[in-house]
Structure 1
Amino acid sequence: MRVIIPDRLWIANALQVRDLRAVLATGTTAIVDLAIEEKPVSFPRDITSLRFPLLDGEGNDLALLKMAVDAVAGFIEARRPTTVACSAGMSRSPGLVAAALAQVEGQSLEDTVLRIAETGPCDLSPGLLSDLLKLVPPRPVGNVKPNLVILRSLDLDQLCRSYQMFGLAWVRERHGKGPEHFSTTIDDFVLELYPARSAEHVDATTGLGFRLNDIAAVVEQLRLAGTRIVREPESMPWGLQAIVQDPDGRSVILTQPA
């Protein structure tokens, strides 16, 4: 039997888990059996025994797979000495234990699989790994914050004038041999306007949103400039909101917080 957490968590194969004396000698009080092709084992009445018949590959019921992961995670959190077993002890049991540890510790599944691989043979089926990743998604690396949006237009000057009415100040820039463009910075967020090569490169489906202090005054100024007002300012639970259209046809949502 392979030790994953001393005195608390083991991985076993079908032969090992049937050696009741050896299993009980570890102090195991809970056993999770995953092998669909093996006959169920009868354990003493004071042993908690759960059986989740899983395939060693793709095709498992995700609901059943999740119950198995949750069960192992629950035993780990309760510090209950637990043995997880499958046929060879190299795919299903390492995979389920890795997923449970990732869930309990807030780690990525990739990291916990590598940890378990260091303790002994690990030949995790790609199909099973793919299903486990659906239950334990990769952990985000650091704090992700958007900091750049690039819009393309056939008429940069007109687009600049339109967005200036929101209070944005534009700077004309050029990086190396790249095209001349306009840039503005709001806190640590950068909005850049680049020239489009053709009308096909102008994405009118992109939507933007800005928070303003006086939405009524800005909307009136936009109206006088010929901007299309898609929706007049109206009260929402989060404040006043209006929708206008920029010269390239993008929807711009303006919000004045309550």
Structure 2
Amino acid sequence: MRVIIPEQLWIANAIQVRDLRTVLSSGTTAIIDLAIEEKPVIFPRDIVSLRFPLLDGGGNDLALLKMVIDTLANFIQAKRPTTVACSAAMSRSPGLVAAALAQVEGKSLEETTLRVAETGPCDLSPGLLSDLVKLVPHRPAGNVKPNLVILRSLDLDRLCRFYQMLGLVWVRERHGKGPEHFSTTVEDFVLELYPARSAEPIDATTNVGFRLDDVVATVEQLRLAGIRIVREPESMPWGLQAIVQDPDSRKVILTQPV
């Protein structure tokens, strides 16, 4: 058994996880079994035993993968001694452990995967890794977090009304001798609308995106207001998504997460 977090988290293959004496002597109190091709192991009744039958490759249900990541992340946060097992302990177990660590520690999947790989052999299936990338938010190296976007328009009031239909609440501001503009803050992210000078071309190639609770209702509201719908709501692996166009011809991506 490979130690990932001392006295708290281990990875085991199909043979190791069936050696109950060794598993229990490690202090394990929870087992997460990921191997669809292996027969389930019967553990003592006081051991938490969860089985998530996963393919070693692409084609897994993303909701099931997310459930494994969330469950393991909760065990890690609760410091419950846990062993994660699959057939060879080289693909599914390391991949899901890395994804859970990335979620708990706020690190990139690449960083946690390399850390897990340092503990022993790893050969992650490209298909499985591709699915995990969809579920683990990309995090830039270091403590970098975007917090401001500024959009410019020749018709600021019209642009403001458009974004109000998405649920944003605007405040008029002016900093020193600068121009009057609109500002809204969602958590710690700031979006500002500034007036454009006539000599400034409006960059319609800029795209912005928002997460919403009800994409379908929002799109219908925008349609009634005469807003161009670039793409109707469509199911994607990450949720329901539509694309509309703001008054300055920017594409606005609306997503209702899974």
TM-score normalised according to structure 1 size = 0.59
CA distance in 2, matches of 1:27, 1:133: 31
Kindly provide the CA deviation profile for residues 225-250 of structure 1, in whole angstroms up to 9, marking residues without a partner as x. xxxxx9xxxxxxxxxxxxxxxxxx94
Shift of 1:144: 1.8
In structure 2, the residue corresponding to 1:75 is in which secondary structure?
A: helix
CA–CA distance in structure 2, aligned partners of residues 204 and 138 of structure 1: 23
What residue in structure 2 maps to residue 30 of structure 1?
30
**Alignment partner of 1:69 is 2:80:** no
Match of 2:81 in 1: 81
Deviation sequence 1:60-117 (CA, Å, 0-9, x none)? 0111111111111111111111000000000000011111111111111111111101
Runs of 4+ in structure 1 over 3 Å off: 145-151, 189-196, 201-207, 249-252
Does the aligned pair in 1 maintain the 2:204–2:249 contact within 8 Å? no
The one-letter amino acid paired with 1:144 is: P
- Residues of 2 paired with 1:67 and 1:138: CA distance? 19
Partner in structure 2 of residue 60 of structure 1? 60
Q: CA RMSD in A?
A: 3.8
1:10 shift after superposition: 0.2
Deviation at 1:204, TM superposition (A): 9.9
Work out the CA distance in 2 between the residues paired with 1:206 and 1:65.
Answer: 30
Match of 2:144 in 1: 142
Structure 1 position 130, deviation (Å) = 1.3
1:33 aligned counterpart, secondary structure:
strand
Partner of 1:227: none
Distance 1:107 1:137 in 2: 9
- Residues 68/250 of structure 1: CA separation in 2 closer, same or farther (3 Å cut): closer
| Paired AA for residue 70 in structure 1 | D
**d(CA) in 1 for partners of 2:112, 2:85:** 17
> Which residue matches 1:180?
none
Amino acid at match of 1:41: V
Name the aligned partner's letter for residue 44 of structure 1.
Answer: P
Supply the AA of the counterpart residue of 1:136: V
- AA aligned to 1:77 is Q
1:71 and 1:134 map into 2 onto residues whose CA distance is 17
Deviation at 1:143, TM superposition (A): 2.8
How does 1:40-189 map onto structure 2 within 5 Å?
40-140=40-140, 142-146=144-148
Residue pair 1:150, 1:194 contacting (<8 A) in 2 also: no
Distance change (3 Å), C-alpha of 1:194 and 1:75: same
Q: Which has the larger radius of gyration?
A: 1
In structure 2, give the amino acid aligned to 1:130: S
Count of aligned pairs between the two proteins: 182
Name the SS for the 1:40 alignment partner: coil
Q: Does the 8 A contact of 1:204 with 1:250 survive in 2?
A: no
Is the 8 Å Cα contact of residues 9 and 82 (structure 2) preserved in structure 1? yes
